[in-house]
Amino acid sequence: MADVRDVTALPIRFVRDDLECEAVRALVARHLRGMHEHSPPESVHAFGIEQLRAPDVTFWTAWVDAPGEGAALAAMGALKRLDAERGEVKSMRVADAFLGRGVGRAMLAHIVAHARSQGCTSLWLETGTTPDFAPALQLYRSAGFVDCGPFADYGPDPFSAFMTRTL
C-alpha cells in the first residue's frame, strides 16, 4: 500500500455516506467502542448508525485514494442541525491507520465549510475530558473552538468538554 503517513500528498475525497458500507459500519463501531473505553456509559454521547441516519444529521466519510491501490476509509464525521443557525459536530473519528496524518483536520474543515454554506452561524461540540481525548481537544482548539458550558440537551458532566465556534 502507498505510504499514508502524509495524506496531503494524496487526494482526500469526502462522501456524503449512507452507512451501508461494511468498512464504514466497522469504523462507527470502533468509534463507539473507543468512547465506552474512555468514558462511563452515561457520559458517552457518540451516535450509532441509526442516529447518524436521522433527518437532521449529515454524515460524511473521508477516503484517501492511493494510486493503483484504490480508496481507503480514513475518517468519518457528522453535522447535526440544532436549529436554523446552529450545528453540532458529531462522531468525528479517524481510522487508526490515519491518526496524526491531518485527516481529522481535513474532516473538521469540511464540516465547518458545509455548516457555513448551510447558513450556520455557530458550531458546537461535546468531547471527552480524559487524557485519551487530548488530541481531539487540541485539534478543536487549534481550529478556533473555545470552551463553553453545556448546550442543547447536555447537562454538566465532568467527563464532557463543551466547545463552540462562531462561523
Taking only the tens place, the pLDDT of each residue in 108-118 is 999 999 999 99
Model pLDDT for residues 26-36, shown as the tens digit of each residue:
999 999 999 99
Grid cell digits, residue 49:
448508525
Question: Above 60 in pLDDT, residue 8?
Answer: no
pLDDT band at residue 65 under the 50/70/90 scheme: confident
Range with lowest mean pLDDT among 6-15, 43-52, 62-71, 108-117: 6-15
Helix (H) or strand (E) holding 164: strand 160-166
Percentage of the chain exceeding pLDDT 90: 89
- What pTM does this model have? 0.92
Q: What is the mean pLDDT of residues 6-31?
A: 89
Q: Can you tell me the distance from the alpha carbon of 86 to that of 82, in angstroms, rounded to the nearest whole number?
A: 5
Q: Can you tell me the distance from the alpha carbon of 98 to that of 82, in angstroms, rounded to the nearest whole number?
A: 30
Question: Above 50 in pLDDT, residue 5?
Answer: no
Question: Above 90 in pLDDT, residue 69?
Answer: no
pLDDT of residue 9: 60
Beta-strand relationship, 122-128 and 86-94:
parallel
Output the average pLDDT for the chain.
Answer: 93
Q: What is the mean pLDDT of residues 152-166?
A: 97
* Helix residue spans in 15-152 (DSSP H): 22-38, 49-52, 103-117, 134-142
Q: What is the mean pLDDT of residues 1-7?
A: 45
